[in-house]
Amino acid sequence: MFRILDARQLASDVKCFRIDAPLVARHRQPGQFVIIRLSETGERIPLTMANADRAAGTIELIVKAIGKTTRELCKKNAGDTISDVMGPLGNPTEIIKAAHAVLVGGGVGTAVIYPLAQTLRDGGSFVSAITGGRTRELVVLEAELRNVCDVVYACTDDGSYGFRGTVADKLRELIDPARRRRESSIAPERHANAGAACRPVEVVYCAGPVPMMKAIAELTRPAGIKTIVSLNPIMVDGTGMCGGCRVTIDGQAKFACVDGPEFDGHAVNFAELADRLTAYRVQEKLALDRMEHECDMAT
């Protein structure tokens, strides 16, 4: 059993867990994930590790309560236990040294880009992060990102906080040459983002909802900016045995869990990926309805 040492609410349906898992923490690298089960007969779900402390032997998971298992997990608190935490799994992120690396995270996808920031910065890259959500409440890990990035842009679709627009809208501004020339002429002491403005974007790392990742890949394609996307949303079993996370990359079949979870965004067949995400929609709804019915009966 793996003990939850701390559980804090990041948003109404998003929670961060710090879990005692020394072996996992010791070997974890940015981009890798774990498979958890709440009980011996529970569903296996893949979750990216947002952080790991090797000395303390702990990992951090950020969870959005969407389906049956994630809702059950988000009801847990410090002192509770999880039956299984298996990992680290998947391939570590390819770390590319760049004059300007941009990390783009949508919602809980920010948990994927967060651990990359310090590694990229330590490697000599200037690092900007773009994090966003529909509303202010859904912008998570902003303070943590500011501790490890050179510049952070918070975005909200409704304009309730930070930049009004999507993360793709903000990235479009960063890679626009005319705007970069204009802003780089502003004295750094008068403009906090001038450092980012004068550096052309050379690589983009992106994690979040599939439509968002597709939009980012299409935005960077004409400019020839290398773009790495995390296909965590499609994973099911995490071992390559179920075939549920099969994706087409440059015309070849790959499995997100064992060949990824990160791939060249310009090589991903996003149309096929979007279709595959709906494969278990009926079963997911039935499980959620059954859980809600049991909760109603209990009350």
Q: Are 127 and 101 in contact (CB under 8 A)?
A: yes
Q: Given 34, 57, 89, which residue is the final one in a domain?
A: 89
Domain for residue 198, yes or no? yes
Cβ-based neighbour number of residue 140 at 10 Å: 24
The structural domain count of the chain equals: 2
The whole-model pTM stands at: 0.85
Q: pLDDT at position 191, please?
A: 47
Which one, of 247, 249, 209, lies nearest residue 105 by Cα? 209
Identify whether 221 is part of a domain: yes
Residue 196 has pLDDT above 60, yes or no: yes
Q: Are residues 270 and 122 in the same domain?
A: yes
Mean pLDDT of the chain: 87
Q: Are residues 46 and 68 in the same domain?
A: yes
- Please, which pLDDT band fits residue 188 given cuts at 50, 70 and 90? very low
Q: What is the pLDDT of residue 296?
A: 62
**pLDDT tens for residues 260-293?**
999 999 999 999 888 877 665 656 666 666 766 5
Residue 134, pLDDT > 80, answer yes
CATH assignment of the domain containing 84: 2.40.30.10
Whether residue 60 is found in the same domain as residue 137: no
**Residue 6 has what pLDDT?**
97
The residues, any chain, with a CB within 8 Å of residue 205's CB and separated by 6 or more, are 93, 101, 102, 103, 104, 113, 116, 227, 228, 230
**118 shares a domain with 16:** no
- Residue 193: predicted pLDDT: 57
Same domain, yes or no: 55 and 149:
no
Say if residues 82 and 94 touch (Cβ distance below 8 Å): no
For residue 299, what pLDDT is reported? 62
Q: Are residues 106 and 254 in the same domain?
A: yes
Least confident of 20-29, 189-198, 290-299: 189-198
Q: What's the CATH code of the domain at 154?
A: 3.40.50.80
Chosen domain end from 89, 114, 138: 89
**Domain assignment of residue 197, yes or no:** yes
Q: Do 207 and 272 belong together in one domain?
A: yes
For 14-69, the pLDDT digits (tens) are 999 999 999 999 999 998 999 999 998 888 889 989 999 999 999 999 999 988 89
Residues 153, 30 within the same domain: no
Is the pLDDT assigned to residue 187 strictly greater than 60? no
In a domain, 286, yes or no: no
pLDDT at 189 over 50: no
**Whether residue 105 is found in the same domain as residue 198:** yes
Verify that 195 and 75 share a domain, yes or no: no
Name beta bridge partners: 249.
252, 268
Comparison of pLDDT for 224 and 242, the residue scoring more: 224
Residue in 53, 9, 52 with CA at minimum distance from that of residue 30: 52
The pLDDT, as a whole number, for residue 268 is 96
CB atoms within 10 A of CB 107: 22
Q: Is residue 284 part of a domain?
A: no
* Same domain as 263, residue 210: yes
Is 293 part of any domain? no
pLDDT of residue 274: 83
254 with 114, same domain: the answer is yes
Q: Is the pLDDT of residue 190 over 50?
A: no
Residue 182: its pLDDT value, please? Answer: 55
Percentage of the chain beyond pLDDT 90 is 65
Contact between residue 133 and residue 106 where contact means Cβ atoms under 8 Å apart:
yes
Which of 90-94, 107-111, 170-174 is predicted least confidently?
107-111
Q: List the domain range (segments joined by +) for residue 227.
A: 101-276
Mean pLDDT for 227-231 is 95
Residue 120 lies in a domain: yes
In-domain check, residue 289: no
